Amino acid sequence: MGSKDPIHSGVSAVDLGTEGWHKPWSGTNGGSCVEAKMLPGGNVALRQSTDPQGPALVCSQQEMATFLAGIKSGAADFLLA
């Protein structure tokens, strides 16, 4: 995505609409969750549920696949220490 693309990391999550956000990582953390949304063209947006008007992180499907594979393999376990 180029810098002229209106859908980029840091864009206000509000600009991505209110429909289609999901909480796949919701748990027993008091309602503070990461929400995800599939965007037109295949990119994925992530936002903090407690700040739905804040910035969104926008990733390609390949970036999301790499991230999820790393999580599943334990590559990010150091973040919990």
Closest CA to 44 of 73, 1, 76, 4: 1
Give pTM, 2 decimals.
0.81
pLDDT-derived band at 30 (thresholds 50, 70, 90) equals: low
pLDDT-derived band at 6 (thresholds 50, 70, 90) equals: confident
Give the start-to-end residue ranges of the domains of the chain.
13-80
The pLDDT tens digits for 31-51 are 678 999 999 999 999 999 889
Q: How far is CA 61 from CA 31, 64, 79, in A?
A: 26, 5, 23
